[in-house]
A and B are shown apart, each in its own frame.
Chain A
Amino acid sequence: MAKKTIRTIPQQRTPMAVQDPKQRVGNFNEVALGYSVEDALNEAERCLMCPKEPCVQGCPVGIDIPGFIQKICDQDFRGAYDVLAEATLLPAICGRVCPQEDQCEKVCVVAEHLEPVAIGRLERFVGDMAVAEGWANTPDIDPNGYRIAVVGAGPAGIACAADMAKAGCEVTIFEALHRPGGVLTYGIPEFRLPNQFVDAEFQKVLELGVKLEANTLVGRLFTIEQLRDEMGFHAVFIGTGAGYPAFMGIPGESLNGVLSANEFLTRCNLMRAGDFPTKDTPLGLGRKVAVIGAGNTAMDAMRVSLRMGADEVHCVYRRTKAESPARVEELHHAHEEGIVFQWLTAPVEILGDEHNQVRGLRCIRMELGEPDASGRRRPVAIPDSDFEFECDTVIYAIGTNANPIIGQTSKLKLNKWGYIQADTDQCTSLAGVFAGGDIVTGSATVIQAMGAGRCAARNIKAYLGINDTVDMDISDADRSRIFGIDARQKKFTRVRLPGQEHSAGPA
């Protein structure tokens, strides 16, 4: 076959079918419907298989992107999954929620002339197929006797737990809520990430032998130090996220009808308040909703509001659309669904009625001034530009702070914002205790949290002296591959060579 060039590949990015905006605001079914096999084959053709693989560098977990796309071209979908599974545990999830436009797709060579290869959509295609077909690369695990405690069942904890289990450790995840998944379960709504995928991906982790202890608030039921010193865990990973919602401190925040996006989304996603009174948790949403903020959380809160029957939903953001940290796709979908965007607008007071119920929001218009330390132009208030508008619900989605429980109940060193201090190896100030994800970096992304969990796993192995890099097929005559990952090897299998030592177990 002739070498592909920018001129020979399909010029148009293959569109993904979506539910019609008018229809979808009335249901919680997934908005983006995914690629068909044809779509995927068509889009995979657009990849130039660049030898320099800039996209791989753009991926926080270094997925072999041209590798898996090549397998799609070959119609070897299982093979494509195997390539993905080497780097990410959760392709069906990451394909849906990663900000690809800032990562792999941003640096895709095709993007210099055309729209970049739809890497995320292709990843999702393979991930969905794996879930549907029940593919799982469960290795042949050789127990080594080490016990690992993972605190928090979000993406960081799940990633770390899976890698440690594959290395032969006995892993227990302790989770405060009654269900695993972290933000994937309580935060990101069904129409963007159906719970079925979170459950399916988590099931694979359980199949590795990982135990889940839900309803366990670490720090209070027992401490991090107790896990390590009294409960027999050889290492601890903390991935407790950054869920501690911020408010602004403007008047009116205690009125009824004011809530955080976390509360709103938790009631809907985790507690199924949409089915009240069949389910017991109420939602208490009004008809005219103002959401403050314009990130992914804000988009989710707005779009859930619409689906829960709000007549009008406003997005109030002090900067412009260009500065919005939301995924482009979410912003686009929110627009389509009829969200009213009030860019360059900051709330100054929430107005209440005689029953302490929200009746409106007073805002001020902003303009962009000089760039600030982050390089973004700083919004400054335009004098005398106040105005009021009517609403009965105000949802805060302006970010989160560090949850203080673990910090208060352990000797871990925190940074000045209260996040756990960890070095680039995810080591904390306590020996044998590692941390990663939002609790270290502040709110970031699913893939970064996963990457941190895997990085911690590597370093926990180093710390404990576990050697599980012998990934090879004993029947494979080509022994030069012992120390590299053999791309042709489909099963991640740990096999000991004859005469080789066990990885050292605990003394």
Chain B
Amino acid sequence: MYEIVAREDFSDSTFLLEVHHPLLSKAAKPGQFVIVMSHADGERIPLTIADFSPDRGTITLVIQAVGKTTREMQQNNRVGSGLYALVGPMGVPSHIGDAGKVICVGGGLGVAPVYPQARAFKQRGAYVIGIVGFRNKDLIFWEDRFRAVSDELIICTDDGSAGIKGLVTDGIERAIQAHSDIDEVIAIGPPVMMKFAAEVTRPYQIKTLVSLNPIMVDGTGMCGGCRVSVGGEMRFCCVDGPDFDAHQVDFDELMSRLARFRKEERRALERWDRSDNCRLLQEDRDVSD
């Protein structure tokens, strides 16, 4: 059991877990992820290491409740309880080179995984332009943390309820117009967002990295379920990634492969929604409202 020592709920659907694992907190580097099983019958799901603190001996995960597993975690993973399995760090750490000026883009939940990279660049003395995008003001989280590691921060919301009205791609365009000397863009978020971010930077030939999120099982290279096409070649995301050159990634293939289990996912979620567990969750919410 890996003990959950802190939890924070950012919205109805997004929450943070801080989990005790001293060795992992020392080994983790920006860009890496873990595989989690919340209980013995659970699925193995990958989650990015959104923060790590060797002093506290913990790592931080930020999770969006989108399906059965993540909703169940939202309901059950309270402080003091534990995760059945937690393994990592997985993946090749992000290369934090000596870029002078970088844009770090986080779309929605992607704000969490891109944060350690923004911080690492800042620590290396780079000029960091942070761009974060959310559907609306209520979904914003970690603005303070991001601001602390950015020289400039652009907030984008779909409805204009905070920052500029528009998508992160508008933010990227704006930053590129304002700075002609951007060395690198790191963009993390939903696959469509990463796809369009890549299209924005492509004409400027700015090196752009994305962190891919295909369906995984083991995370050790053993199953090949996480394969993605980069520059026309098959790569295993868990071993060769998760960071890849955005201009080489076949995003359409990634998106299509993410829909592999749509039928089963829907079935699991419906079953969960009907179960007692979920009613409890609903009551919980009603009480706190």
Report whether B265 and A282 are in contact in the complex, using a CB–CB cutoff of 8 Å. Answer: yes
Closest chain A residue, CB of each to CB of B259: A256
Q: Complex: how many Å from CA A403 to CA B220?
A: 8
B175 within 8 A of A: no
Q: Complex: how many Å from CA A282 to CA B266?
A: 11
* Contact segment of B86-94, B126-134, B162-170: B86-94
B264 within 8 A of A: yes
Q: Report how many residues on chain B are interfacial, defined by Cβ distance under 8 Å.
A: 45
* Contact segment of B9-17, B144-152, B224-232: B224-232
Report whether B69 and A405 are in contact in the complex, using a CB–CB cutoff of 8 Å. Answer: no
Closest chain A residue, CB of each to CB of B2: A215
A51 within 8 A of B: no
Q: How far is the CB of B262 from chain A (nearest CB, A)?
A: 10
A67 within 8 A of B: no
A71 within 8 A of B: no
B5 within 8 A of A: no
Chain B residues lying within 8 Å of A496, measured Cβ to Cβ, are: none
Chain A residues lying within 8 Å of B224, measured Cβ to Cβ, are: 244-245, 247, 259-260, 262-263, 396
Closest chain A residue, CB of each to CB of B271: A277
B268 within 8 A of A: yes
A441 within 8 A of B: no
Report whether B223 and A263 are in contact in the complex, using a CB–CB cutoff of 8 Å. Answer: yes
Q: How far is the CB of B248 from chain A (nearest CB, A)?
A: 15
Q: Complex: how many Å from CA A266 to CA B90?
A: 19
Report whether B90 and A404 are in contact in the complex, using a CB–CB cutoff of 8 Å. Answer: no
In the complex, chain B residues 78-97 whose Cβ is within 8 Å of any chain A Cβ:
84-90
Partner of A279 from the list B24, B41, B222, B265 (CB cut-off 8 Å) is: B41
Report whether B221 and A404 are in contact in the complex, using a CB–CB cutoff of 8 Å. Answer: yes
Q: How far is the CB of A172 from chain B (nearest CB, A)?
A: 13
In the complex, chain A residues 239-271 whose Cβ is within 8 Å of any chain B Cβ:
243-245, 247, 249, 253-254, 256, 259-260, 262-263, 266-267, 271
* Contact segment of A29-37, A217-225, A471-479: A217-225
The secondary-structure label for the interface of chain B is mixed
Partner of A404 from the list B41, B239, B257, B265 (CB cut-off 8 Å) is: B239
Report whether A271 and B43 are in contact in the complex, using a CB–CB cutoff of 8 Å. Answer: yes
Closest chain B residue, CB of each to CB of A231: B23
B285 within 8 A of A: no
In the complex, chain A residues 162-176 whose Cβ is within 8 Å of any chain B Cβ:
176
Knowing A178-B85, A221-B23, A254-B229, say if A244 contacts B221 (CB, 8 Å).
Answer: yes
Q: How far is the CB of A213 from chain B (nearest CB, A)?
A: 10
Chain A residues lying within 8 Å of B87, measured Cβ to Cβ, are: 176, 178, 215-217, 221
B280 within 8 A of A: no
Report whether A282 and B264 are in contact in the complex, using a CB–CB cutoff of 8 Å. Answer: yes
Report whether A262 and B223 are in contact in the complex, using a CB–CB cutoff of 8 Å. Answer: yes
Report whether A178 and B256 are in contact in the complex, using a CB–CB cutoff of 8 Å. Answer: no
Q: Which residues of B contact A (CB under 8 A)?
A: 23-24, 27, 32, 37, 41-44, 68-69, 84-90, 217-225, 227, 229, 234, 236, 239, 250, 253, 256-257, 259-261, 263-265, 267-268, 271
24 contacts between A and B (CB under 8 A): A215-B87, A216-B87, A220-B32, A220-B88, A222-B23, A222-B27, A243-B221, A244-B236, A256-B259, A256-B260, A262-B223, A262-B224, A263-B217, A266-B222, A271-B44, A277-B264, A277-B268, A280-B68, A282-B261, A356-B256, A356-B257, A403-B220, A403-B239, A404-B221
Contacts A178-B87, A271-B43 known; 19 new A-B pairs at CB < 8 A:
A178-B37, A178-B85, A217-B87, A221-B24, A222-B27, A243-B221, A245-B223, A253-B227, A259-B225, A260-B224, A263-B225, A266-B217, A266-B223, A276-B264, A277-B271, A280-B43, A280-B268, A282-B265, A396-B224
